[in-house]
Amino acid sequence: MQVKEERFANLSILIAGCGSIGRRHGDVLSALGVGKISACDPMEAAREAMASLHQNFMLYDDYDTALRAGGFDAVFVTSPTAMHLEMIEKALNAGANVFVEKPLANTSEGVARIKELAEEKGLAIMVGFCFRYHEVLLKAKKIVESGRIGRLVNICAHMGEPFAEIQPNYLNMYYSKYSGAFELVHDLDLALWFSDQKVTSVHAVYGSFSDMGMQSPDSIELLLKFEDRMAANVHLNFYQHPRTRRIELQGVDGTVSVEFASWDEATLSVWATDTREWESATFPTKRNDMFRDEDSEFLNAIMTNGQIACTVDEALKSLSVIEQVYRPDSI
């Protein structure tokens, strides 16, 4: 059972965007015991969906109107990517800390401005890369950092899902017109997170290779080279059956892999020269747990002036890779 945090009872939060991720944050923030939660979205259907889950939320149909209501400790920006920077700037000017869902923005242009603005006002910005908080991936990172598989030399990350089945109206969605499979940026971020190195070169193949009819890429293959004898391959697609997510971490003395059978189950496997055999364990997980842990970190940070792991600078790492290979008018 989720235990509510009494220390969050005096916080006032605005969720800017009532889509599926906004509603998920609504569930998590409510479960954490945030005292006052408001939400806004220009789409009536989205507001109604939020209201059906949380009758106690104050709802607005306009972001500026919501901000003028005032008194928010933080704004959770869960709107389409192209709107992020403008909404972040408005929240900061209203005196609110900001949690923004990934990707941070559709371009790095303007990111320096909002970072400087946050620093001037003494406010925090956190970017929502929730998989960094997944308990099985954290176990994998601890194994790598322990040195059991030796120096990490290669990372293979793969994510594919049948987007048309998940979102039957996909051709009218933002992803299909602009960002495409680049929206699956979690897996690129994981490769960068595990590497903990600067990317020195990027090669890519991308395009609309399936019969989905998307205007944006439905398949992406990235090959990254890092500064100290390490490489990574990241594959993203919007057509794969069944939905598949896995990451393999190859060291000079062994391999660690994590495979997700579903949102609720992940298998961690390790092969190392000390045992010379595979050791595997499957862990039941709940999707909201990683959202809970990242949201809790953010709320604690804004209350105590504490550290935030997923900063603007961290988010710029994946955005920089995307910009090196894909520069449409809008991502």
Burial readout 131-169 (b: 16 or more C-beta within 10 A, e: otherwise): bbbbebbebbbebbeeebbeebebbbbbbbbbbbeeeee
pLDDT at 5: 66
The CA-based angle 54-55-61, given to 5 degrees, is 90
Domain membership of residue 104 as a residue range = 6-130+290-310
Whether residues 60 and 153 share a domain: the answer is no
Same domain, 11 and 92: yes
> Is the model's pLDDT at 2 over the cut of 60?
no
- Within this chain, do residues 21 and 116 fall inside the same structural domain, yes or no? yes
Residue 273: CB atoms within 10 A of its CB come to 12
pLDDT at 243: 94
Same domain, 275 and 294: no
Q: Residue 190 pLDDT > 70, yes or no?
A: yes
Here the tokens at position 124 are: 């925090």
pLDDT at 193 over 70: yes
Task: Examine the pLDDT at 329 and tell me if it is beyond 70.
Answer: no
DSSP string, 125-193: EEEE-GGGG-HHHHHHHHHHHHTTT-SEEEEEEEEE--HHHH-TTGGGSHHHHTTGGGG-THHHHHHHH
Token output for 85: 């920077």
Measure CA 184 to chain center. Answer: 9
Longest alpha-carbon distance in the chain: 62
Mean pLDDT in residue range 60-72: 96
pLDDT score of 330:
35
Question: Is there a single domain that holds both residue 151 and residue 223?
Answer: yes
pLDDT higher than 60, residue 328: no
Position 216 in a domain: yes
Amino acid, res. 66: A
What is the Cα–Cα distance from 295 to 275, expressed in whole angstroms? 38
Query: Within this chain, do residues 85 and 117 fall inside the same structural domain, yes or no?
Result: yes
Are 312 and 111 a contacting pair, CB within 8 Å? yes
**Of 144, 85, 91, 141, residue with least CA distance to 109:** 85
Question: Among candidates 287, 295, 293, which has minimal Cα distance to 26?
Answer: 295
The answer to whether 139 touches 285, Cβ cutoff 8 Å, is no
Do both 156 and 267 map to the same domain?
yes
Query: What is the reported pLDDT for 3?
Result: 54
Is 75 domain-assigned?
Answer: yes
Q: What percent of the chain has pLDDT over 90?
A: 89
Residue 322 lies in a domain: no
Asked if residue 141 is part of any domain, the answer here is yes
Q: Are residues 102 and 174 in the same domain?
A: no
> The pTM is what?
0.94
CATH number at residue 75: 3.40.50.720
Report the CATH number at residue 234: 3.30.360.10
Residue 319 domain-assigned (yes or no) = no
Q: Which two tokens stand for residue 160?
A: 């594919």
Number of domains in the chain: 2
pLDDT digits (tens, 9 = 90+) for 278-300: 999 999 999 999 999 999 999 99
